[in-house]
Structure 1
Amino acid sequence: MNIKRIFALGLCLMASACTSLPGSAPRAFANTLGMSMVALPAGTFVMGSEEPVESLHKAYPLAENYRLDNLSDEAPAHAVRITQPFYMAATEVTVGQFRQFVQLSGYVPESIADGTGGYGYNAQYDASKSARGDAFEGRDVRYSWQNPGFAQTDAHPVVNVTWGDAQAMAAWLSKKEGRSYRLPTEAEWEYAARAGTRTRYHCGDDPTCLLAVANTFDEAAKPYWPQFAANALPGNDGYAFTAPVASFAPNAFGLYDMHGNAWEWTQDLYGEDYYAHSPVDDPRGPEDGNVYVRRGGSWHTWSLYARSSYRNWNSPQTRYTLVGIRLVMDAPAAN
């Protein structure tokens, strides 16, 4: 079946015929930690992008050629079929939800357990004078999920959490509730982010549409990062750092912050050429590798890197002031 045919079938994602769930499973529910879990239907879509460099240059005129050349891992665009419905959290895991998990489970997050801390924003930090030239200061014991260097409330997305922290949270919730929680596969993540669209963002192709649906790098953040000022979106979303989750409009699936706010870990190992031989049904990434895919962009991300198709990765031990968690849950099997 070719891509055009599968994409046509995928349009039924938004139709009632595609949204049935087994038995009496609810469309949405709040779990033990107060996460709103939203039912997503099985369906088909076209994953990835083969947008020509010339087209990208028009949309992102300041992007250097090497940045556009580095997007080759988004190709080839390929048909994917998600064969089973599943639940996805409507928002990223919040500071408050992560705190509840830590308190109830006794789990010690890796940034604290290994004694090396995380990364954080420090106005006095000079990246040009650091050994690695990283945009943020760290690792440092001052920084962790409790302190990313800027103020957060319990309603903000938790950051400075590792892939292992996400696994621990999913395992605890699974045991607590007798359900199967996990991180999304990379395919499930993009399927959920697109919500039936084929544009760069779920709001359209114009990067400025992000101002209504995402907390990314714009004029609110520009004063803190003058070296990146030219890359700021021409508008102010009101948040220089993270925003409380669900502060912006959701996509058609009812999911918030699929673009921006915090990068989100996925379950999959990263493979640069994986798309070239990915199976159509429920791809789960390569079997071997040492880094895991993260998706969606953050409050510090330029619009080029907040597109639905963009892929990034980190080692599982990474704890970074831009990276957070969104969980999924397997739908109950049919009776």
Structure 2
Amino acid sequence: MLLTAALAACGSAPSLAPPIAGEPQASKAGATFTDRFGMVFARVPAGEFMMGSDESPQALAKAFPHADPKRLTDLADEAPVHRVRITRGFWLGAHEVTVGQFRRFLRESGYVPESVRDGTGGYGFNPNYDPSRTERGDLFEGRDPRYSWENPGFAQTERHPVVNVTWNDAVAMAKWLSQREGATYRLPTEAEWEYAARAGTRTRFPAGDDPQVLLKTANTFDRETALRWPRWRDQAGSGSDHYPFTAPVGSFAPNAFGLYDMIGNAWEWVSDWYGEDYYARSPTDDPAGPAEGSVRVRRGGSWHSWPLYSRVAFRNWNTPETRYVLVGFRLLREK
């Protein structure tokens, strides 16, 4: 069944019913379920969609006039657009994993985050840091033991998305929850992630094609954030989304599957190895990415992502041990 038909059959708006405690009972899109750990999941039904983007650099240049032409040609890994069938429905975290949830995982499991275990720390925002005077020329300071999932250099509450976590940290939490809950928790595949993020849409952003829609629907690189990075001011949205750094999860409206912050706030690790040409050879049913690789995919953009890089189709990647002030994760539960 095509996704549009599935949404028509069950209603495209997220359920307003209270979360279901204990074991999942509902299967329609937008239904919610709260596990015993207290994490809320939304139901994503099986279905088909067209994955990727085949927009030309010329078309993108009209929508993003300040983008460097080379950046636009570097987006070729979003093509070709190809049909993907998600054959099994799943439960996806309604929110990105929060600081409070990650803290509880560490406390109860005894797991030590990679940035602490290897002693090198993470990255962080430092208002006195001048990237133009450093060899690396990066926008943030690190690696440094001062920075970690607890301290990205700006204030966060227990309800903000955890960042500075590695792919390995995310997988460790998924494995621990699987043992604790008696169900399979994991990172979504890249295809599952994009299918869930689109929720039946084919536009650049879940709310439409115009970059202006981001200001009301996602926490991305806006004029307020750009005050701290004047070099990139032309790339910013033309207004403010009211969050210069991360926002508490759920600060913006959910998509049709009841999922919050699929675009912006924090990049989200997915399970796949990255393959630049993988879309050209991807199987139709439940693609899981290349069998091997050197870097893992992350999707969705962050509070520091330009509108160009906040499109649903955009792909990015890092090594599994990367910990960065912009990167977090969201978990999938299979049953």
Shorter-chain TM-score range: over 0.9
State how far apart, in whole Å, the 2-side matches of 1:271 and 1:313 are.
10
1:222 deviates by 1.7
**Alignment TM-score, normalising by the size of structure 1:** 0.93
Note the residue ranges of structure 1 that are not aligned, 5 or more in a row: 1-5
Residue pairs, 1:53-64, within 5 angstroms: 53-64=57-68
Question: Which residue number corresponds to residue 282 of structure 2?
Answer: 278
Q: Write the distance in 1 (CA, Å) between the matches of 2:247 and 2:329.
A: 15
Is 2:266 the partner of 1:262? yes
Q: What does residue range 231-270 of structure 1 map to in structure 2 within 5 Å?
A: 231-270=235-274
Partner of 1:44: 48
| Aligned counterparts of 1:326 and 1:295: Cα–Cα separation in 2 | 11
Q: Whole-Å Cα distance in 2 between the matches of residues 141 and 57 of structure 1? A: 40
CA distance in 2, matches of 1:150, 1:17: 41
Query: Residues of 2 paired with 1:263 and 1:17: CA distance?
Result: 30
User: What is residue 118 of structure 1 aligned with on the other side?
Assistant: 122
* Aligned partner of residue 267 in structure 1, secondary structure: strand
Look up the equivalent residue of 2:6 and give its one-letter code.
Answer: L
Aligned length: 322
Paired position in structure 2 for 1:330: 334
Alignment of 1:223-234 (within 5 A): 223-234=227-238
Gapped regions of structure 2 (runs ≥ 5)? 13-23
How far off its partner does 1:13 sit?
3.3
- Indicate yes or no: 2:131 matched with 1:127: yes
Q: Counterpart in 2 of 1:140?
A: 144
The residue type paired with residue 86 of structure 1 is F
Measure how far apart 1:140 and its partner are.
0.1
Could you tell me how far 1:14 is from its partner in structure 2?
Answer: 1.1
2:324 corresponds to: 320
Instruction: Please report the TM-score for the alignment, with normalisation by the length of structure 2.
Output: 0.93
What is the Cα deviation at residue 258 of structure 1?
A: 0.6
Deviation at 1:18, TM superposition (A): 9.6
> Secondary structure at the residue paired with 2:92?
strand
CA deviation vs aligned residue, 1:39-58 (integer Å, no higher than 9, x gap): 11000000000012221111
What CA distance in whole angstroms lies between the structure 1 residues aligned with 2:205 and 2:42? 20
Residue 24 of structure 1 deviates from its aligned partner by 4.1
Give the 3 Å change call, closer, same or farther, for CA 251–128 of structure 1 in structure 2.
Answer: same
1:102 aligns to what?
106
**Could you report, residue by residue, the CA deviation over 1:10-50 in whole angstroms, capped at 9, with x for unpaired residues?**
3123123699xxx9456321123321111110000000000
Q: 1:160 aligns with which of 159, 164, 175?
A: 164
CA deviation digits over 1:129-164, x for unaligned, max 9? 223222110000000000000000001000000000
Displaced runs of 4 or more, over 6 A: none
AA partner of residue 35 (structure 1):
M
Structure 1 counterpart of 2:203: 199
Q: For 1:167, give the aligned amino acid.
A: V
Match of 1:12 among 5, 18, 24: 5
Matched residue, 2:307 = 303
Match of 1:73 in 2: 77
> 1:227 Cα shift?
1.1
Query: What do residues 147-198 of structure 1 show as CA deviations (whole Å, max 9, x unaligned)?
Result: 0000000010000000000001000100000010000000000000000000
Identify the range of structure 1 (128-137 vs 56-65) with the bigger mean alpha-carbon deviation.
128-137
Contact 1:18 1:41 in 2 (8 A): no
Q: Deviations over 1:270-314 (max 9, x none)?
A: 000000000000000001201000000000000000000000000
